[in-house]
Amino acid sequence: MAVHLVRWAAIWRYGEVVANSQLCLVTGPTGYIGGRLVPALLAAGKRVRVFARHPERLRDMPWVGDVEIIAGDANDPIAVANALDGVDVAYYLLHSLTTKSGFSAAERSMAQLFADAAKQARVGRFVYLGGLVPPGDVRLLSEHLRSRAEVGEVLRNSGVPTAELRAAVILGSGSASFEMLRYLTERLPAMVTPKWVHNRIQPIAIRDVLRYLVGCADLPADVNRAFDIGGPDVLTYSQMMQSYASISGLRRRVIVPVPVLSPNLSSHWVGVITPVPASIARPLVESLRHEVICRESDIKQFVPDPEAGLLTVNEAIGLAVQRVRDAQVATRWSSVSVPGAPSEPLPTDPDWAGGSLYTDSRERTVPASRAAVWTVVKGLGGSNGWYSLPLAWELRGLMDRAVGGVGLRRGRRDPQEIFVGEAVDFWRVEELVPEELLRLRAEMKLPGLAWLEFVISVNDEGQTVLRQRATFYPRGLAGHIYWYSVMPFHGIVFGSMIRNIAAAATTKKQSVAIQPA
């Protein structure tokens, strides 16, 4: 592959201190770990260079102007040499999740190429994130775990001091491991599972992984070894699913392990139940066949635990669940992007990072001003109604009350004026921008979370455009069943809603026009 060297002038945020700090190379910056590591290194005052096969995928990253980007293929010696030139610390985050034969040989070859180029370039250190290896004969490991261990060995034998961090399950929003856990737990209140669900594991939160990765940049030059890294809890995968259920407000899951499901069958089962494809699920499942517990914690001598300690499994799951829920609302819909903790979802996360999200979106051009449309939209609910099938809304309110919900009995405080946080029937105003946006969050009893959003804009022809979107984030199998059960009524309810809102706005425009001066 032809090598295209792309150097973007860095906008260093730390002045002279950063100019004299370590230059860190991050491989795989479009990946799950790499995309989070870059801002963590920048926050630590490091200079960062990224090596990407497709640098165009980085253009919307908030840190893109703060790094140097080199484009190239990791199998191209010239590109690799260019990427490593002048580097102090190289983060090797190149992994394969393919199940094609020969992938382990290809990974060793790529690692050897980097190792040779790094030695030639006098790189000060490698930092590599691999997999936690159980004791015993390495030849008995799954091919993916064995490949991770072999890559670490190649780097440690390169002549460049290497810190190999070995982790088991990484818990963080958007990670394949977390999504597998989340979907299996949410969608199956009772399940027949492979026997590996009773194997012990030692998960670690993504933010603790990032802290170790950043800290390893400053290890003494004579440190060349592997480190086991894990959180404070040792538990089974089954116990972790029960923890997720408890934190998410789900009932305790019924889990019946059986010995007949092979890793291949298990991966297909995971692929059917969750958005994680079987090709990615298989290496994860194969890793879980072994008990993966830290045998040492020597990394703490060099990168001490934070004062509050490492995150527990419950804390890590709780943070990840909240990040996912926030991403469904704030990140997807907010007009302002607020940077946050490293474990928040990023634009480069897999498409399934936020989970299933069902939407009913409609758009209509309205022959009225934005102000006229906004007057109707902000007056929705209460005595004004919802501009579609009043009987259907009344029945939905009665159904909600029958199961302990608030129903439509709250109405609204004022027939025209509303503010953020105010109740409107069984909705609450989550966000509003006058003449632009109204977003309502459902407070009815639902097997999931729901929003109703109205966006008003003006197109290139100067016409007012109203966009209406109903969004549902299901929780558990019941949530998916609920969405599909009500979907046939959406065309009637939501279709007539946007049509009648537009008609009402047009009528208001005409009423204003005929009023005497």
Q: Is the pLDDT at 9 greater than 70, yes or no?
A: no
Q: What is the pLDDT averaged over residues 199-222?
A: 93
Q: What is the pLDDT averaged over residues 161-180?
A: 86
Q: Residues for the chain: how many in total?
A: 517
Residues 325 and 65: their CA atoms lie apart, in Å, by 29
Looking at residue 350, its pLDDT comes to 40
Of the candidates 358, 350, 356, the residue with the CA atom closest to the CA atom of residue 172: 350
Position 464 confidence tier, pLDDT thresholds 50, 70, 90: very high
Burial class (CB in 10 A: 0-12, 13-18, 19+), 2: exposed
The percentage of residues in the chain with a pLDDT greater than 70, rounded to a whole number, is 78
Of the candidates 15, 14, 9, the residue with the CA atom closest to the CA atom of residue 44: 14
Q: Report the run of H or E that residue 239 belongs to, with start and end.
A: helix 237-247
Domains with residue ranges and CATH for the chain: 15-333 (3.40.50.720), 358-514 (3.30.530.20)
Position 20 confidence tier, pLDDT thresholds 50, 70, 90: low
Q: What is the pLDDT averaged over residues 482-489?
A: 88
Residues 282 and 265: their CA atoms lie apart, in Å, by 9
Residues 68 and 324: their CA atoms lie apart, in Å, by 30
Burial class (CB in 10 A: 0-12, 13-18, 19+), 1: exposed
Q: Could you report the per-residue pLDDT of 113-165, keeping only the tens digit for each?
A: 999 999 999 999 999 999 888 776 566 667 777 888 889 999 999 999 999 99
Residues 363 and 209: their CA atoms lie apart, in Å, by 44
Between 319 and 13, residue with greater pLDDT: 319
Q: With left for phi above 0 and alpha for psi between -120 and 50, is residue 122 left, alpha or beta?
A: left
Looking at residue 95, its pLDDT comes to 78
Burial class (CB in 10 A: 0-12, 13-18, 19+), 312: middle
Sign for the pseudo-dihedral over CA of 237, 242, 245, 247:
negative
Looking at residue 179, its pLDDT comes to 76
Which region among 2-11, 62-71, 470-479 has the lowest average model confidence (pLDDT)? 2-11
Q: Burial letters for 381-406: b for 16+ Cβ neighbours within 10 Å, e otherwise?
A: bbebbbbbbeeebeebbeebbeeebb
Residues 83 and 72: their CA atoms lie apart, in Å, by 8
* Tokens linked to 504: 């009402």
Looking at residue 120, its pLDDT comes to 95
Residues 183 and 175: their CA atoms lie apart, in Å, by 12
Residues 145 and 134: their CA atoms lie apart, in Å, by 9
Q: What is the pLDDT averaged over residues 346-360?
A: 55
Of the candidates 448, 444, 439, 441, the residue with the CA atom closest to the CA atom of residue 467: 439
Between 55 and 503, residue with greater pLDDT: 503
Looking at residue 76, its pLDDT comes to 92
Between 192 and 239, residue with greater pLDDT: 239
CB 68 within 8 A of CB 18: no
Which region among 23-27, 266-270, 293-297, 442-446 has the lowest average model confidence (pLDDT)? 266-270
Q: Burial letters for 251-281: b for 16+ Cβ neighbours within 10 Å, e otherwise?
A: eebebebeeebebeebbbbbbebbbbebebb
Residues 194 and 330: their CA atoms lie apart, in Å, by 37
Sign for the pseudo-dihedral over CA of 270, 274, 277, 283:
negative
Q: What is the pLDDT averaged over residues 486-495?
A: 87
Which region among 35-44, 203-212, 273-282 has the lowest average model confidence (pLDDT)? 273-282
Q: What is the pLDDT averaged over residues 194-204?
A: 84
Position 290 confidence tier, pLDDT thresholds 50, 70, 90: confident
Helices 176-187, 278-288: crossing angle, 10 deg rounding: 90
CA 48 centroid distance within chain: 23
Residues 492 and 505: their CA atoms lie apart, in Å, by 20
Looking at residue 515, its pLDDT comes to 37
Residue 23 has phi, psi (to 5 degrees) of -100, 120
Residues 341 and 324: their CA atoms lie apart, in Å, by 13
Q: Could you report the per-residue pLDDT of 44-99, keeping only the tens digit for each?
A: 999 999 998 878 767 667 888 999 999 999 999 999 999 999 999 999 998 765 54
Q: Could you report the per-residue pLDDT of 376-394, keeping only the tens digit for each?
A: 999 999 888 999 988 888 8
pTM, two decimal places: 0.64
Q: What is the pLDDT averaged over residues 452-459?
A: 94
User: How crowded is the C-beta side of 345, counted as CA atoms within 13 Å?
Assistant: 27
Q: What is the pLDDT averaged over residues 210-217?
A: 96
DSSP 8-state secondary structure symbol assigned to residue 81: H
Residues whose CB falls within 8 Å of the CB of residue 511, separated by 6 or more in sequence, listed in order? none
Residues 394 and 298: their CA atoms lie apart, in Å, by 63
Looking at residue 31, its pLDDT comes to 80
CA 299 centroid distance within chain: 27
Q: What is the pLDDT averaged over residues 349-372?
A: 77
Q: Could you report the per-residue pLDDT of 299-324, keeping only the tens digit for each?
A: 999 999 998 999 999 999 888 887 76
Between 187 and 355, residue with greater pLDDT: 187
Position 472 confidence tier, pLDDT thresholds 50, 70, 90: confident
**Alpha helix (H) ranges present in 274-389?**
278-288, 313-326, 332-333, 370-377
Residues 355 and 331: their CA atoms lie apart, in Å, by 14
Q: Is the pLDDT at 185 greater than 70, yes or no?
A: yes
Q: Is the pLDDT at 329 greater than 60, yes or no?
A: no
